[in-house]
Structure 1
């Protein structure tokens, strides 16, 4: 079994990597960070992050939520098969995965603010264009650009958190970002389904693009901009060198989250298709997605508290297992009530892991090389955004939607096992190097 990955030194505690208490035991990096700044309030930190973090994330995710229930149905309406639906849906994930390294290089050369602004513009424009065409090539291209924009927004904000938020707050800050994401996904599907049914699919896509564009208001809000270059990182060639140096950490750290993301993203395809098979309307499907997301939203605050106080695995292992059970139940669904129950389980499991993948990436990022590492981590983990929809479509075409749901649940459980056994706990241990990094340090 590969060695578990130890978390990197947190950016907020560079002066003290580990310390010894009165009993001579090593205290965790989390405890050290608390000692360095014991009086800083998490609520003050969350308020500070509203303009630069939560506003852009809320608007971007609300836009995604508006089109969430209608994209698979819009594609089916154009006459494409389920495999093609999976490919077009998965193009979003490919864009989100591949944008990581270019986004990191751009942020190093310019600023995180410019990266965020351009990413919002790209995503908003491509979502509108998606609703104006039925050509398969353009649909794939528009989804790819939308995924690239959404991925770059996430990359920008994850780097912002990793560099500027103390490790003892990261779980709750990331959980808060996940909660913002979830609230938008409660409102978005209901709004999108209602607009698509009352007006048209095209109107829903235009609305989604306009909402995303509002996220650019961070540029003029007080405290919304960093107004500085990202310090400490090197030019693009150093990004590649850093990725080579930490390739083992990137690979082992990214595989589990990739499988998790596949399960998470795949549910957005499988739930509407199962509901459509059972005869529900577009508005009803939007409401059904919102039901699961309401549960998701209600329980999300638990995630950050569990991760920060007990450890990351205490949130990840049980919650994603519940989500996998929900996917299996979805495959067994015979009516709308069954789908609703499965959606509640899926939402509950996903909610208690709010911010988990982001927190893992931040914990594992090597100090001083956070940008390149997060680019690599995002590249690997976001491949799941493509894998999930592709698996749903391909398996459904061959064996049916029920088998597709079972396979998706199995992928999710495989991701849980990888995180628990290969990555291990990242939140409350001293920052030791991985074996590969230790060998490189000795040979340096």
Structure 2
């Protein structure tokens, strides 16, 4: 009977975490493609339009600072509810924007709210999913996010085809926010019925400060935090570099979208395999091959730009890096969950997200700076070397801080 209750609780946890995550990701995926277009329609040049599009990550990094203490104080479910409400406010600001700066403010608010939502669902699964299922649950969460990002743009395309107004795509995100609130309100409150460990952090606010958390955990954050930051950096760089590379070798937009779409499909298809390998053999068995694959793939790509067969090399290496990225699906969230203190995971996860989201937000600046200083092939080569460095860091420190299952 007790086992049945545990299974029911686990099912509730998965529904509460994954269903809102899918819906939220659909909303975010719906607005990302149209932000530059809407900014341009409001009078922004290409540089400012690009900055507005990237500001969603800036908002996310800023939101990571208070997110940990907020989640620790109010609980994961309430934090997700509050984030959905704030996200709707940001989207409504985007819908009613009459200037680029008004749109920028709305996008920043959406990014700010997404950081707390993402951290809350991460902390929720960290607290309630048994360790033996943890990697599979968090890899599935990563897969759900990828699915939402894949579905959202198609809904946007349909809405724009019907209305002819790109700004209407923001209504999709607003509706999605209402659906997320409904799911969370009517879902059973697992936090009130099940708690694996007492949450002492809520009675000790001083311990939830993100900076004191960084100081207390500086040893692991400097080592494994650097490795996961490089994973986030390479993932973000891959999404920026591949379209740029295709443009630079003369591929048309349709071919580029097809190749990147195929690579993304392979990436998405491997999320459960990644989680199973991590749970069965240990985290290093996906982290190291993933970083090696992306590093070697980008390094090889750097030497193909001027070849007669550059287009075929692009296709092969785009798919290869998609495969490598898929192998590591969920690794950042899983390592964060493994390392977070059991009695108060949210502040640690807040610091973890600052590192990974900060690395992702830095990608456009790093790629642009390296390309401007050297050239695109040199920039891609440097990123490939960073992938190899990340693989070495992960291979060295994961066994130290997160031993494989047989050694726990």
User: CA separation of 1:242/1:193 partners in 2, compared to 1, >3 Å: closer, same or farther?
Assistant: same
Deviations 1:281-316 (A, max 9, x none): 4x7765554322211121111101110111101011
* Structure 2 residue corresponding to 1:119, chosen from 83, 86, 92: 83
- Say if 1:363 and 1:427, in contact at 8 Å, map to a contact too: no
SS in 2 for 1:394: helix
Deviations 1:303-341 (A, max 9, x none): 011101111010111123223344456664687765544
- Which of the residues 113, 130, 155 maps onto 1:149? 113
1:365 to 322, 340, 359: 340
**Please, which runs of 5 or more residues in structure 1 have no aligned partner?**
1-36, 433-444
Residues 96 and 183 (structure 1), Cα distance of their counterparts in 2 relative to 1, 3 Å cut: same
Closer, same or farther: CA 406–69 of 1 in aligned 2, 3 Å? farther
- Asked if structure 2 preserves the Cα contact closer than 8 Å seen for 1:291 and 1:340, the reply is no
Match of 1:174, SS state, is helix
Deviations 1:21-41 (A, max 9, x none): xxxxxxxxxxxxxxxx9x789
**Match among 361, 369, 386 for residue 394 of structure 1:** 369
Q: Given the two structures, how large is their TM-score scaled by the length of structure 2?
A: 0.81
Counterpart mapping for 1:289-438 below 5 A: 289-328=260-299, 332=304, 339-424=314-399, 426-428=402-404
Contact residue 124 and residue 208 of structure 1 kept, 8 A: yes
Q: Is structure 2 residue 179 aligned with structure 1 residue 218?
A: no
Is the partner of 2:200 in helix, strand or coil? coil
- Tell me, in whole angstroms, the C-alpha distance in 1 between the residues paired with 2:53 and 2:233: 12
C-alpha distance in 2 between matches for 1:292 and 1:389: 21
| Aligned mate of 1:231, from 199, 221, 229 | 199
| 1:6 paired residue number | none
- Mapped to 1, the partners of 2:172 and 2:62 lie a distance apart of 27
Q: Normalising by the residue count of structure 1, what TM-score does the alignment of the two structures yield?
A: 0.75
- Cα separation, 2, equivalents of 1:40 and 1:415: 42
1:42 to partner: Cα distance: 11
Q: Measure, in 2, the Cα distance between the counterparts of 1:369 and 1:105.
A: 10
CA contact (8 A) 2:282 2:405 kept: no
In structure 2, the CA distance between the partners of 1:222 and 1:121, relative to structure 1 (3 Å rule), is closer
Deviations 1:19-73 (A, max 9, x none): xxxxxxxxxxxxxxxxxx9x78998676333431111110122223234444466
Q: Runs of 5+ in structure 2 lacking a partner?
A: none
- The equivalences for 1:86-235 within 5 A come to 87-127=51-91, 129-130=93-94, 133=97, 137-192=101-156, 199-223=164-188, 226-227=191-192, 231-233=199-201, 234-235=203-204
Superposed displacement of residue 361, structure 1: 0.6
The structure whose RCO (Cα within 8 Å, separation 6+) is larger is 1
Structure 1 residues 132 and 86: alpha-carbon distance in aligned structure 2, compared to 1, 3 A threshold: same
Q: CA–CA distance in 2 between the matches of 1:370 and 1:389?
A: 30
Counterpart contact for 1:63–1:209, Cα < 8 Å: yes
Change (3 A) 1:324 1:377: same
Task: Name the CA distance, whole Å, in 1 between partners of 2:160 and 2:403.
Answer: 43
Instruction: Tell me the CA shift for residue 79 of structure 1.
Output: 5.6
Q: Name the CA distance, whole Å, in 2 between partners of 1:356 and 1:146.
A: 25
Decide which structure has greater helix share: 2
CA distance 1:88–1:192, change in 2 (3 Å) = same
Determine the C-alpha separation between the residues in 1 that align with 2:173 and 2:379: 29
Deviation track 1:207-246 (CA, whole Å, cap 9, x = no partner) reads 2443344222322333366358982214432223444322
